[in-house]
Structure 1
């Protein structure tokens, strides 16, 4: 059931990016269309646009926040997940962090170690705050 829905979502989004197994990205990743992660991201995963889809395979790992409209998780996320539209947690999903979603499908075997809360779109699709810019004091 999860695979059928995943294929339907992928068909709607013609732009698909793949981060292969063995690849490590350190830093935030922003994407449109579909992002499929078999590797590792150490930073935030940010889907831009209402049709952005993030899929995390059983080999994939995210060390950071995931903020997307649609997410299908079957790997490990160490960070909070914000899914403004739909979140699917497959059997091998392991989430260490809070989860906020609009629509949720969770398969037997998926694990969430954190709080889960249903939220409407207006609560979960906010932009991340801009990084702090440290200003040096002026010297005369």
Structure 2
């Protein structure tokens, strides 16, 4: 379902050791390795991807089509398409998603809220631990 679409390129980076205070809007792709205190929102009708790396901390709402989390998020997450939770993901807030992929070790302290399209049930994929 999602593998057929080309992913938007990561064109922006908030580097490790950087701190951004205030709301942030981006187009296409954004990778956060540092800290953001404020909301992060994709601002176009084009497909969007947000990557929150293992060292990253975000305090605020997140809105994007494809969201990959391997760090800490304190606030609600809205993934219009796919939410990927990597093994070190820690979310303190509710998550809304169309499809969810969650690896062993990821933690959500909040409610899971699937985004329903008509009567279609959301896709839920559990990642196997292949170590």
TM category, shorter: 0.7 to 0.9
Query: In the aligned structure 2, how far is the partner of 1:121 from the partner of 1:42?
Result: 32
Q: Are the counterparts in 1 of residues 10 and 49 from structure 2 also a CA contact under 8 Å?
A: no
Query: In the aligned structure 1, how far is the partner of 2:66 from the partner of 2:16?
Result: 22
Query: In the aligned structure 2, how far is the partner of 1:99 from the partner of 1:34?
Result: 20
Between structures 1 and 2, the one with greater helix share:
1
Give the count of matched residue pairs: 115
Shift in Å, 1:15:
5.2
Q: Are the counterparts in 2 of residues 50 and 69 from structure 1 also a CA contact under 8 Å?
A: no
Shift in Å, 1:121:
6.6
Q: 1:35 aligns with which of 30, 35, 59?
A: 30
Q: Are the counterparts in 2 of residues 15 and 32 from structure 1 also a CA contact under 8 Å?
A: no
Structure 1 ranges of 4+ moved more than 6 A: none
User: Secondary structure, in 3 states, of the residue corresponding to 2:16?
Assistant: coil
Q: 2:40 aligns with which of 21, 40, 45?
A: 45
Aligned CA distance change for structure 1 residues 121 and 35 (closer, same or farther; 3 Å): farther
Between structures 1 and 2, the one with greater strand share:
2
Give the TM-score, by structure 1 length. 0.76
Matched, 1:17 2:12: yes
Partner residue, 2:71: 75
Query: In the aligned structure 1, how far is the partner of 2:33 from the partner of 2:88?
Result: 13
- String of CA shifts for 1:21-47, please: whole Å, max 9, x gaps: 010000011000110000011000001
- Structure showing greater radius of gyration is 1
Partner residue, 2:129: none
Gaps of 5+ in 2: 119-131
Give the TM-score, by structure 2 length. 0.81
